Amino acid sequence: MHSSLSNIRLAGVAVTTGSVVRDFIADGLAAGVDRAALERTAKTIGLRERRVAAAGITALDLCADATERLLSEMGLDATSIDAVIFVTQTPDHSQPNNASLLHGRLGLSKSAPAYDLSMGCSGWVTGLHQAALLCAHGGAARVLLCAGDTLSRLTNPGDRSTDPLFGDAGSATLVEKTGRSAPLHFVLGADGSGAEAIIVRQGGARHPAGSLAERTDAEGNRTHDANLVMNGADVFSFTLREVPSAIESVMRHASYAPTTTDALVLHQANRFILSTLAKKTGFTEAQTPMSVVEHFGNQSSASIPCALIHCLGNRLEAGPLKVVGCGFGVGLSWGAFAGEIGPLTIAPILSLPQ
224: annotated active-site residue: no
Residue 3 contacts residue 186 (beta carbons within 8 Å):
yes
3-state secondary structure of 238: helix
Q: Nearest distance from residue 41's CB to another protein, in Å? A: 6
- Please give the order of strands across the beta sheet that includes 8-18: 114-117, 83-87, 142-149, 169-177, 8-18, 345-352
CA distance 281 to 264: 10
Q: Nearest distance from residue 232's CB to another protein, in Å? A: 5
Pick the closer one to another protein by CB: 118 or 276: 276
Pick the closer one to another protein by CB: 205 or 218: 218
Q: Nearest distance from residue 146's CB to another protein, in Å? A: 32
Pick the closer one to another protein by CB: 137 or 279: 279
Beta partners for 230?
198
Q: Nearest distance from residue 213's CB to another protein, in Å? A: 22
Residue 79 contacts residue 109 (beta carbons within 8 Å):
yes
Beta partners for 16?
170, 350
**DSSP per-residue codes, 255-288:** T--GGG-SEEEE----HHHHHHHHHHHT--GGGS
Pick the closer one to another protein by CB: 38 or 146: 38
- Which distant-in-sequence residues (6+ apart) come within 8 Å of 144 by Cβ? 67, 81, 83, 84, 85, 131, 172, 173, 174
Q: Nearest distance from residue 25's CB to another protein, in Å? A: 15
Cα–chain center distance at 92: 18
Q: Which of 63, 121, 135, 326 is catalytic?
A: 121
121: annotated active-site residue: yes
| Nearest by Cα to 77 from 38, 112, 115, 108 | 108
- Beta-strand pair 263-266/49-52: unpaired
Residue at 349: amino acid letter: I
Pick the closer one to another protein by CB: 240 or 318: 240
Q: Which of 156, 267, 311, 326 is catalytic?
A: 267
Q: Nearest distance from residue 279's CB to another protein, in Å? A: 8
Ramachandran bin of 339, using left for φ above 0, alpha for ψ from -120 to 50, beta for the remaining angles = left
Pick the closer one to another protein by CB: 38 or 114: 38
Pick the closer one to another protein by CB: 9 or 267: 267
- Beta-strand pair 321-329/2-5: unpaired
Residue 324 contacts residue 261 (beta carbons within 8 Å):
yes
Residue at 332: amino acid letter: L
Q: Nearest distance from residue 13's CB to another protein, in Å? A: 31
Q: Which of 227, 298, 310, 311 is catalytic?
A: 298
Q: Return residues touching another protein (CB under 8 A).
A: 34, 37, 40-41, 44-45, 161, 218-219, 221, 231-234, 236-237, 240-241, 272, 276
User: Hey, which residues are catalytic here?
Assistant: 121, 267, 298
